[in-house]
Amino acid sequence: MPTYSVLTCPVCGHKSELEMLANACLFFHECEACHTLLRPLPGDCCVFCSYGSIPCPPVQNDPSRNRRSVNPSS
């Protein structure tokens, strides 16, 4: 299971590679470039699931929790 995800800031497009913890969600992340505070989108558990290249480990283990796989049009 991947343990790193690339977060992409929706405001400026800056990309940051971050390590994901297997047993914790990351609810907030400040963009290093524009300092926007990223928060999960409605229906997502964390910023990795909203803005990451790979969803968080709990969602990887249970794809039915992934908003993107349940509703691919979002």
Q: What is the reported pLDDT for 61? A: 84
What is the CA 59 to chain-centroid distance, rounded? 10
Question: Whole-angstrom Cα distance, residue 25 to residue 28?
Answer: 9
Decide if pLDDT at 67 tops 80: no
Q: What is the reported pLDDT for 74? A: 41
pLDDT in tens, 7-52: 999 999 999 999 998 888 899 999 999 999 999 999 999 999 999 9
Q: What is the reported pLDDT for 72? A: 41
pTM of the model: 0.81
Question: Whole-angstrom Cα distance, residue 31 to residue 70?
Answer: 27
Where in the chain are the domains? 4-70
Average pLDDT over residues 2-11: 94
